[in-house]
Structure formats: C-alpha cells, structure tokens
C-alpha cells in the first residue's frame, strides 16, 4: 500500500514525508481514505502527529481529509501552518487547497433570465361552458396569452462554525413580468437562516424561512415555515436526498385561502462511470386550507436522466406523473358548489440542453422544452395541454 501511495504522490512524498513517520499508521490512514472512510483516516493521521507533531506529510494528509469532511476551519488552520513552513515549490501544492476552502466561504450568487411566450398563462380549459351548469365562461376564464420575462436571483452563504457545524443563510428572489398581460406579474422572495451539519457521508440542514408573495408590486400573502434537507452518500454510485417542509400561508385579503402545507420529498440518485446521473423521486404534499374545497393532497413520481456530451453539451430530462385530489366539491366563485370533487392527473416532460462552451462572461445559455397535460374531473375548468420552447441565460458567481 505504501508503494502505491509513493507512486500516486511522488512529488508530495518527497517534500512532506519525514523518515521518522509511523509507516503503519500512514498505511492505515491512506487505506481508509481510499476506501472512503474519512473519519478513520483522520484518526490515523492524528495518531501520527501525536507521535511526531512535525510530520509535514501527515499534516498535509490530515488537512486534506478534514477538507473532505467539511471541517473547513480546522483544515484551513493546518494548511496555513504548512504554508508558513514551506518553500515556493511546496506552496504551489498547498495554495489550490486553500483556494478551495476560501471558495466554500464566499457568497454564492445564481442568476437566471428567460423569455416567456405563454398561450395559456392562467392554465385554463378552452371549453366555454362550465360543466353542465349552463354558465358560460367570461373571457378572463378562457386561456390567456402573455409575453414577458422570468428572472431569478439566489444568494447563499454557508459559514463553518466548528468541526462540521455550519450556519446557513439564503435569499431566493424570483418573478415574472409580462408586457401584454400585467395582471399575471408576480414576485416571490424567501429568506432563510438556519443550521447545518455536514461531513463526507451525509448532511442535514434545518432552515426556518419567511416568504413574501407579490401580485405586481403589491404583497398578497406571506408564509412562515421550516424546511429540513438531508443528503446521504450510500456508496460511490448511489446518493439519497430527502426534504421535509412545513409552511403556514396567510393571505392579506382572501382569508379563505389561508392554509398549512406539508411537503415530503425523496430522491435516489445513481451515478455511473460515464458521469451520467439517473434518478427516481417521489413528492407528497398535504394542504389544509380554511375551505375544504381549497384543501388537497398530491403524490408525484419523478424520473430523470442527466448526461454530458461532447463540445460542452449536457442533456437533462425529467418525466413526472402526479395526482392532485381536493377534499370537497369544487367551488365556482365562493359559494356555488359543482357536482364533482376535483381530481387532477398531471403529466410533465421537461428537457434542458445547457452548453458550457458557449459561455459569455460566464453566462451560459440553456435550451428548454417543457410539455404538460392536465386531465381533471372538472374538465371544462381545469383540463389543458400546453408546451413551450425557450432559452434561458444562467450565471453562477
């Protein structure tokens, strides 16, 4: 094993390894690291330093292992010590690790912009008569066209407190603005401040949030809640990602829509040797509104495939099937009950093609194709089919 280490890291060994290092501990530590047991590797490297606190190579391996374990403060401190004790050639080896740690601490910004041309912005059925009631829809209840832009800006900061403990801050801002149908303009902003624990195997984040929703520039609802996210690396190819969210939404005027919502989501991701990702996931949503006709529960199944290709292209395909069932007979207006309880079956296809070779000032174009078919028991109001093709521009910095 030591021979294998020497072959893999000849330059580093030559510069950092001391003759009096405990070879057996070095072997055990490196073997544990190669097998993915970073916790054991850290213990072995610490045992080496307990015997010889000046063993630079052991310090280097310990700092690397702490970096993999997301113990950023401890890793940074050791790398800084090594940097002070190193010559110029050794510093060239150390600086990329320090840069990686500094990048983790930076504020992260994600920006997106896309053009929208939607022939059914209100997701309405094109049928003019409402079920068998004899009522005829107004123009506003029929599909409406809208052209404009969608935009989003996310700001994220994670700060290592001690060992693998973190404080998490995020602000997610998004909206749509339309030139020819401004009543569908919307803005949404969610502010999050929470706690996280992460290491090389798993991570958990607890994120209380406050959210505001705007109609044009007028706020019409706010929500408070809690979101938890859990990720676990099962092995080199499998990863599990789960989340739970509770939100309490309150409307400033339409009080009957006030609701409590519970969301449970889980996704299993498989990564093959060709850097392709396959995933399967489920989402369960339970919404309890003041009016039973506005309350619902839904289940969704998701399947996906992400694959890199030549010339910077990547494809991202997601298929989903969902069912959404309401608790009481549908309402027309606030008082007139229809004869059926609303139940929707929803089919979605989302296909995206980004290309990182076409970046301009780090702005990457992404071609999107989206298709949706919704079949409802209240066919004349909620059944529709729509598709869209558009290009978005995205940047992370």
pLDDT at 5 over 60: no
pLDDT band at 184 (very low <50, low <70, confident <90, very high): very high
pLDDT in tens, 310-334: 888 899 999 999 999 998 887 776 6
Q: Are residues 94 and 141 in the same domain?
A: no
Local structure of residue 143 (DSSP, 8 states) = -
Residue 368: domain span: 108-396
pLDDT in tens, 238-253: 999 999 999 999 999 8
Structure tokens at 240: 């599990």
pLDDT at 190 over 80: yes
Q: Are residues 33 and 112 in the same domain?
A: no
Measured between alpha carbons, how far is 57 from 42 in angstroms, rounded to an integer? 13
Q: Are residues 196 and 61 in the same domain?
A: no
pLDDT at 217 over 90: no
| Region class of 324: left (phi > 0), else alpha (psi between -120 and 50), else beta | beta
Among 77, 103, 129, residue at a domain's last position: 103
Measured between alpha carbons, how far is 92 from 170 in angstroms, rounded to an integer? 34
Output the domain CATH number for residue 7: 1.25.40.10
Output the domain CATH number for residue 336: 2.40.160.40
Measured between alpha carbons, how far is 189 from 250 in angstroms, rounded to an integer? 15
Among 103, 138, 173, residue at a domain's last position: 103
Q: Are residues 95 and 118 in the same domain?
A: no
pLDDT at 208 over 70: yes
Which segments of 41-121 are extended strands (E)? 108-118
Q: Write down the pLDDT at residue 24.
A: 66
């Amino acid at each position: 094993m030591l021979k294998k280490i020497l072959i893999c890291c000849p330059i580093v060994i030559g510069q950092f390894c001391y003759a009096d290092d405990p070879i057996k501990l070095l072997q055990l530590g490196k073997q544990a690291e190669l097998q993915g047991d970073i916790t054991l590797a850290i213990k072995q490297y610490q045992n080496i330093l307990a015997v010889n606190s000046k063993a630079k190579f052991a310090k280097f391996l310990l700092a690397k292992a702490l970096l993999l374990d997301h113990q950023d403060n401890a890793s940074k401190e050791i790398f800084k010590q090594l940097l002070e004790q190193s010559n110029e050639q050794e510093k060239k080896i150390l600086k990329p690790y320090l840069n990686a740690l500094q990048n983790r601490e930076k504020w992260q910004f994600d920006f997106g912009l896309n053009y929208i041309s939607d022939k059914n912005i209100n997701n309405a059925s094109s049928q003019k008569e409402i079920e068998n009631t004899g009522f005829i829809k107004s123009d506003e209840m029929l599909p409406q066209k809208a052209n404009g832009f969608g935009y989003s800006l996310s700001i994220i900061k994670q700060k290592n407190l001690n060992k693998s403990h973190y404080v998490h801050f995020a602000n997610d801002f998004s909206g749509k603005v339309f030139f020819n149908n401004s009543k569908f303009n919307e803005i949404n902003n969610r502010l999050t401040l929470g706690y996280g624990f992460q290491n090389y195997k798993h991570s958990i984040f607890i994120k209380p949030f406050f959210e505001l929703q705007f109609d044009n520039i007028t706020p019409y609802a706010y929500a408070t809640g809690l979101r938890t996210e859990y990720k676990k690396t099962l092995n080199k190819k499998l990863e599990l990602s789960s989340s739970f969210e509770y939100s309490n939404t309150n409307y400033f005027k339409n009080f009957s829509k006030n609701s409590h919502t519970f969301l449970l989501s889980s996704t299993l991701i498989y990564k093959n040797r060709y850097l392709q990702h396959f995933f399967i996931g489920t989402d369960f949503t339970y919404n309890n509104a003041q009016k039973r006709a506005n309350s619902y529960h839904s289940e969704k199944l998701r399947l996906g495939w992400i694959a890199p290709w030549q010339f910077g292209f990547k494809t991202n395909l997601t298929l989903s099937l969902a069912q959404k069932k309401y608790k009481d007979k549908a309402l027309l207006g606030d008082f007139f009950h229809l004869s059926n309880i609303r139940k929707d079956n929803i089919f979605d296809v989302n296909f995206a093609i980004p290309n990182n070779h076409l970046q301009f000032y780090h702005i990457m174009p992404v071609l999107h194709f989206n298709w949706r078919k919704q079949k409802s028991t209240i066919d004349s109001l909620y059944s529709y089919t729509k598709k869209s093709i558009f290009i978005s521009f995205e940047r992370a910095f």
